[in-house]
Structures are given as C-alpha cells and as structure tokens.
Amino acid sequence: MPFDLLSPAVTALLFESLKQTAYMVSIAALVSTALGLPLGVLLVVTSPGHILPLPIFNRILGTAVNLVRSTPFIILMVAIIPFTRVIAGSSVGTSAAVVPLTVAITPLFARLAETAMREVDRGLIEAAEAIGASPLQIIVRVIIPEALPSIVAGQTVALVSLIGYSAMAGTVGGGGLGDLGVRFGYQRFMPEVMLAVVIVLVAIVQSVQLLGDAAARAVNHRIARGKRSTS
C-alpha cells in the first residue's frame, strides 16, 4: 500500500484531490455528453447527402469544432477565462475548472460520436425513411441506437482524455490529483506523493476503460452472443 509511506496529512490531501478530480471529471463528462451528442448528431445529419443536408451550417460547425480542438488545453483554459467567469461566477477554483474542461472535451466527444453515427448503414436510414419516419425519429430510433456501442467506446476515450486534462486544472486553482502531483511531488521533492498520484490516476483510467468496454459490450448486439462464447 502506497499510503503507508505517506503521512496522514498527505493522505488526507490525496483524498481531497481525488474528490476534486472526481467532481471536475464527472460534471464535465455529464455536461460534455449532453452537449456533445447533439453536436455530433448535427455534424452527421447536416452533412451533404445525409437526412438534413445544410452544407454551409455543417461547414461552420465543423470549423468551430476544429478551432477548439486545435487549441492546446492549457491555452484554452486561460483564453476562455472571461467566459468561465460568466458561467461559474469565478475564474479560479474547482468549479471554475469544470468550464474549460467541458469546453475542451465537448468537441472531442462530438467528433467521436459523429464518427460512430456516420458508420450507421445508409440502408437502415432508408428503411426508416421508407416506413415514414421523420428526421428526428430516424435520429432517435435508428442512428443513435445503432451507433450506441461505438458512441460508448468514444465516450470512454473522451473520458480518459478528460482525466488527463483535469491534471492541468491546477493552473486555474482547480486542485485535483494532477495539481497535487505537481505541487507536492515535483515542487516539494516528495517522490512518494508523485508515485501515489500516478498510481491512483492509472487505477482510475483502468477502471474507466474496463467499465467503458463492458458498457459498450452490453449495448452491442451486432455480433451473436452464442457465436462469440463458442469461438
């Protein structure tokens, strides 16, 4: 147990940081899913030749998404401070850090969801059109359910990136595990704290990946269950 090497005060700090990371990541994950999925849907359905083609809108949306995605997170965090202040009421602290995290992850998740939904066979969409489904019905009843395993897999990737980004939240006073590692492990020369932080982060990422894979499998009916277990 790494905790045996740490003083009770540092252990308490570790748990406090873990809580901050969990808070930042979970809120940012929830909000970025709520925003990213519709954004991904829009990127797909408004593309040329899809069910609601709006080429100019699609181009603008795609450019906006790329703009955010190409800005390094550390820059983005500082660059959107005025926006953060409007949303969170402050530009520093754990809650304030949630805003740039959400802004950074939403386009990533939107792109991953877009890719997943673009893979949905045109034939399925046509079959739905042929029974008189509206674009909204096609999105809700065909595109999202059919892409769900890939969307969940994309969500897992985004979540892992989000955990990584959250380590930079210390820059705006957000705290969290990354901040602990930098301030104590690095700046105060406490390698055991650094090690503890790394171990906890690895454990979190592994758990997220395992849970994500299990969830993706649970919603995937593309391959017959029986066939997979016998082969």
Partner 1 sequence: MNAVPPISDFRASAIGDDDPAGAAAVRIDGLSKTFSKAAGPVLDDVSLTIRRGEIHGIIGRSGAGKSTLVRCINLLERPSAGRVFVSGREITSLRGRALRTARRDIGMIFQHFNVLSSKTVAGNVALPFKVAGLPRAEIARRIPPLLELVGLAHKADAYPSELSGGQKQRVGIARALALDPSVLLCDEATSALDPETTEQILALLRDINRQLGLTIVLITHEMQVLRDIATRVAVLDHGRLVEEGATFDVLAFPKSAVARSFLSGLVAHELPPPVAARLLPEPVADSDPVLRIVFTGDAAHDPIVADLVSHFQIVPNILHGRIDYVGDRPLGVLTLVAGDAGKRLPAVLSRLASFGLFVEVIGHAVRSAVTRRHGAAV
Binding site for partner 1 (CB under 8 A): 121, 123-124, 126-134, 137, 141-142, 145-146, 148, 219, 221-227
Which residue lies nearer to partner 1 by CB, 9 or 224?
224
Bin 2: left if φ > 0, else alpha if -120 < ψ < 50, else beta.
Answer: alpha
- Smallest gap from Cβ 222 to partner 1, in A, equals 5
Do the beta carbons of residue 213 and residue 155 sit within 8 Å? no
- Smallest gap from Cβ 145 to partner 1, in A, equals 4
- Smallest gap from Cβ 1 to partner 1, in A, equals 44
Question: Angle at which helices 94-118 and 144-166 pack, to 10 degrees?
Answer: 150
- Smallest gap from Cβ 221 to partner 1, in A, equals 4
Is 215 buried (19+), middle (13-18) or exposed (0-12) by CB count in 10 A?
A: middle
Q: How far apart are CA 27 and CA 70, in angstroms?
A: 23
Which residue lies nearer to partner 1 by CB, 146 or 179?
146
Which residue lies nearer to partner 1 by CB, 42 or 151?
151
Which residue lies nearer to partner 1 by CB, 6 or 148?
148
